[in-house]
Structure 1
Amino acid sequence: MNTRLQQTPSPWVVQHTERLAPGTDVLDLACGSGRHTRFLLERGFRVMAVDLNISGIDDLSGHPGLAMLEADLENGPWPLGNAQFGGVIVTNYLWRLLFPRIRDAVAPGGVVIYETFATGNEQYGKPSNPDFLLRDGELMDWFGDWQVSGFDQTYTDIPKPAIIQHICAVKPSA
């Protein structure tokens, strides 16, 4: 796959980043190669980038707005304690046991922007294991009690053909 394409932020994330308070702290969970970390830093956000392997963002080491944390999100303890963020972004990652932690990591009035593969993606390739595909409406099950500003389960061909589900929701302030 084209390296430039891999670094292009998700159109969903780009569209909903405007809901984040300017300069707020944002958690990029399972940040991978850092496409969203880079996008957020360029826009003046402070970013906590977390992944099992953070070598994909080594080139950003020392950036004043960036904290990097290498952590096994699936086999270790939750590495962020009670930390809360004005925004939490998760893309192309699903570990259902983390949903309560993700909800808790969003500060009151903060935003979750989540996008990953969904049921039906198996016809386009990987992931095809149901353990790594959101069930119909599953993100609404987790965040539908918040102020949902966008939700969809749809076909996309960017960066490759896939079925994805995404949500943007604001956590109630009180």
Structure 2
Amino acid sequence: MPPNSPRDAIRGAATELFARDGYAGTTVRAIAAAAGCDPALVIRHFGSKEALFLATVPASTELARILAGPVESLGRELVGFVLGASESRVAGVYRAMLSASDRPEIKERLRASMHDVFVGPLADRIGGAYPELRARLVAAQFAGLINAYWLVADPVLRNADRSATVELYGDAIQRLLDSDDPP
């Protein structure tokens, strides 16, 4: 399709609206209006609001870069990413996905994305007797900080000294990566 096709306009409008207004706050009519087309065309091209949402959720290239970096500094890098990206498109997309996670297809996409983007690549690099468990625990700590910082916007965390937060929470994550296996 040409670069300015109706499908591309719908995808662009949906990406913007889902990130800004969340899944529940975005309607097919609003997407169609922003794309300058009829709502029936949105459904014709994507089948459903859920399918369009899943088609517009991008993976974070910055997160992939961090996860491919040195394991020895990964904890602090991950925390720095969360603190620095709270107003980014990635944060908006995450909030939209979380708000839609009661839908089975979205929940499955979240699980698959966590494994494909985070757990799988990390587990392949950290070794030990429990690499997947460690990677999933790191992902859980990472997601916990994201929820507190991006979703809840905890005022104490948001106003805390950034370098102290990176050091304290980053080192807590790093312990999962560096510690000896349990007996």
Same fold (TM over 0.5): no
Task: Say which one has the larger Rg.
Answer: 2
Structure whose residues are more often strand by fraction: 1
**Structure 2-normalised TM-score?**
0.27
Structure whose residues are more often helix by fraction: 2
Q: For CA contacts below 8 A with separation 6 or more, give which structure has more relative contact order.
A: 2
